[in-house]
Amino acid sequence: MAPFGPALLILLYLASLATSCTEQERSSLLQFITELSYDSGLSGSWENTKDCCKWEGITCGSDMTVTDVFLTSSSLQGTSPRPLATSPACCNLNLSHNFLSGSLPMELVSSKSIVILDVSFNQLNGDLQELQSSSPVSFLQVLNISSDLFTGRFPSTTWEVMKSLVVLNASNNSFTGYNQFSGSIPPELTNCSTLKSLHAGHNKLGGTLQDELFNITSLAHLFLHNNQFEGSLIGIGNLTNLVTLDLGGNALRGNIPEPIGELKRLEELHLDDNSMSGELPSTLSKCKNLIIIDLKSNDFSGELAKVSFSKIPNLKILDVVWNNFSGTVPESIYSCSNLTALRLSSNRFHGQLSERIDNLKSLSFLSIVNNSVTNITRALQILRSCRNLTTLLIGKNFMDEAMPEDDTFNGFENLQCFPKTLNLGNNNLTGVMPKEIGRLKALLSLNLSSNKLTGAIPQSICDLTNLQKVDLSGNHLTGAIPTSVKNLHFLSQFNISSNDLEGPIPFVGQLSTFPTSSFDGNPELCGPMIAHHCDSAETILSKKQTAEKEEKDEKAIFVIAFGAFFCVGVLYDLFELC
């Protein structure tokens, strides 16, 4: 045993008998809290107790040294928690969700004791200062500086001393510069890195993705979404440990290179909102652990069927909306029985849906809007077997095909396609307002203005108890206003002007609060709030006429049901998800 052995043992023994934190820990914690401009009364409560292990937000280990400083969401205000860096033993430092401002003291980052540092959701700002490569090696493993107000160039040499860093979360700041992303990744980091997670999404980072990034082979999670990176994915095949790759919302070009197939652990691939193009490599099916493939809003082309989806059995989400894919919907997709969302809209797919779609028992979202799929009767017949469908958007297909039979629409019990706002104004719609409108219980706003609707306002409109806005103006609606309209307690806007409505306005509830302009242009309407007052004969007449007109022309049922259900034309922009 080395000569200092017994002394060390005695020290350890004494430490294990320690009953309170050290004086130095106590004083650096107190110094930190008293330097704040607002401390939520913590300093007062801390000063009352000698043992800092008993302080609110402080945790000690069994040897009575501070292990955790957990002061999140404590409304702390002021600058720099610098004193904490000198605390000898500490620790995991979590100061997230406060109002700390000023720059980040690099002493915290290069501290020999801090292992986890989370200062996210504060107002820390300015540039991150560089740590020189000669600085002592940092012990930090997790650094979360996200959702602060940092600006300026992303530091480069700093990472050279962060030899233990496993997770870096720098997302949602305003880091810029970084013109050579590569240049900023120090060779030491790329060569023998421990870095597993790099989060720097929602910044203003730019420049070309280069070899150095693709050399950080330890990376399992790479999030660089919503930046301004350019370049291509050549070299991605090196990152064989990747589980999550999110490069969405950048300016990447080129295709997905064949070596993507080397990423055997990949579970999430997000390349959405870039300018990528070309055909998908068949090697993508070698990434057999994929759960999410998000390629939306690029310029990919060719047949999706190049990828054998049957080899990706865990796939849950496939989103290729707004690309230039052609060919038929690949048969192999129907093998992915765990698929919950499939969005193929706004491409150039053609052909008919396969009855094998009934294998997709978990499918709840399907959109094929704006393609050239044919045979709507068949599509609806086979989609009925997808019992879990809640959203089905298939409009802008089936050109010139005949409307399917009425009962084809049955069997979609779970469907909720309908939006909270139904705006079908200005569409030259004809026919009557469908009674079925009463089923759209979630509706907050209904606009059917400036159409050619005829017949009565259905009583069922009163089932829409959440309605806040109703605009039925500029149609040819007839009959009386349903009296139960008074039950629409949340109504704040109501317009039935310029129709042929008649009889008394139910002068109750919300209806009594609307201006006369809500009712103008209906010569046969009467009521105390408008010029035309009612006599008793009018009341009786209107009831009779309503009854007569009730069973008329049902055409609008189709137009409206079809419109909303299928997300066609005018409704297109209502459904962001189409």
Ligand X SMILES: *[C@@H]1O[C@H](CO)[C@@H](O)[C@H](O)[C@H]1NC(C)=O
Which residues of this protein are in contact with ligand X, per CB under 6 A? Answer: 72, 94, 96, 116, 118, 120-121, 142, 144, 146-147, 167, 169, 171-172, 187-188, 190-191, 199, 211-212, 214-215, 217, 235, 237-238, 299, 301, 313-314, 324, 326, 337-338, 361-362, 375, 377-378, 381, 388, 428
* Shortest distance in whole angstroms from residue 362 CB to ligand X: 3
- What's the rounded Cα separation, in Å, for the pair 314 and 98? 40
* Shortest distance in whole angstroms from residue 275 CB to ligand X: 11
Q: Classify 416 as helix, strand or coil.
A: coil
First-to-last C-alpha distance (Å) of the chain = 73
- What's the rounded Cα separation, in Å, for the pair 202 and 251? 14
* Shortest distance in whole angstroms from residue 237 CB to ligand X: 6
Residues with Cβ within 8 Å of residue 20, at least 6 apart in sequence: 50, 51, 52, 53, 64
* Shortest distance in whole angstroms from residue 429 CB to ligand X: 10
Question: How many residues would you count in the chain?
Answer: 578
User: Which of 60, 140 has the CB closer to ligand X?
Assistant: 140
* Shortest distance in whole angstroms from residue 364 CB to ligand X: 7
* Shortest distance in whole angstroms from residue 235 CB to ligand X: 6
User: Which of 142, 263 has the CB closer to ligand X?
Assistant: 142
Which residue shows structure tokens 């806040």?
A: 468
Peptide bond into 192 cis (omega under 30): no
* Shortest distance in whole angstroms from residue 400 CB to ligand X: 12
> Which element (helix H / strand E) includes 68?
strand 66-70
* Shortest distance in whole angstroms from residue 170 CB to ligand X: 8
User: Which of 28, 144 has the CB closer to ligand X?
Assistant: 144
HEC states along 234-265?
Answer: CCHHHCCCCCEEECCCCCCCCCCCHHHHHCCC
Sheet holding 77-79, edge to edge: 77-79, 99-102, 123-126, 149-153, 174-176
* Shortest distance in whole angstroms from residue 194 CB to ligand X: 14
User: Which of 19, 428 has the CB closer to ligand X?
Assistant: 428
- What's the rounded Cα separation, in Å, for the pair 392 and 228? 34
Q: Pull the structure tokens for residue 120.
A: 């996210």
State the virtual CA torsion across 395, 400, 403, 409 in degrees, nearest 10.
Answer: -20
> Which element (helix H / strand E) includes 332?
none
- What's the rounded Cα separation, in Å, for the pair 506 and 489? 14
State the virtual CA torsion across 236, 240, 243, 247 in degrees, nearest 10.
Answer: -10
* Shortest distance in whole angstroms from residue 221 CB to ligand X: 7
User: Which of 59, 337 has the CB closer to ligand X?
Assistant: 337
User: Which of 389, 480 has the CB closer to ligand X?
Assistant: 389
Nearest Cα neighbor of 366 from 101, 53, 575, 99 is: 575
Q: Which residues pair with 373 in a beta bridge?
A: 351
Nearest Cα neighbor of 278 from 304, 244, 260, 259 is: 304
User: Which of 6, 187 has the CB closer to ligand X?
Assistant: 187
User: Which of 124, 437 has the CB closer to ligand X?
Assistant: 124
Nearest Cα neighbor of 118 from 130, 135, 102, 100 is: 100
User: Which of 68, 550 has the CB closer to ligand X?
Assistant: 68
User: Which of 327, 438 has the CB closer to ligand X?
Assistant: 327
Please report the DSSP string for 260-310 in residue order. GGG-TT--EEE--SS--EEPPPGGGGG-TT--EEE--SSEEEEEGGGS-GG
User: Which of 214, 494 has the CB closer to ligand X?
Assistant: 214
Please report the DSSP string for 471-531 in residue order. E--SS--EEPPPGGGGG-TT--EEE--SSEEEEE---SGGGGGS-GGGT-S-TEEE-TTSS
Q: Which residues pair with 503 in a beta bridge?
A: 525
User: Which of 169, 184 has the CB closer to ligand X?
Assistant: 169
* Shortest distance in whole angstroms from residue 319 CB to ligand X: 18
Q: How far from 522 is each of 67, 222, 499, 519, CA to CA, in Å?
A: 76, 63, 5, 7
User: Which of 387, 532 has the CB closer to ligand X?
Assistant: 387
* Shortest distance in whole angstroms from residue 435 CB to ligand X: 25
* Shortest distance in whole angstroms from residue 378 CB to ligand X: 3
* Shortest distance in whole angstroms from residue 160 CB to ligand X: 10
User: Which of 191, 517 has the CB closer to ligand X?
Assistant: 191
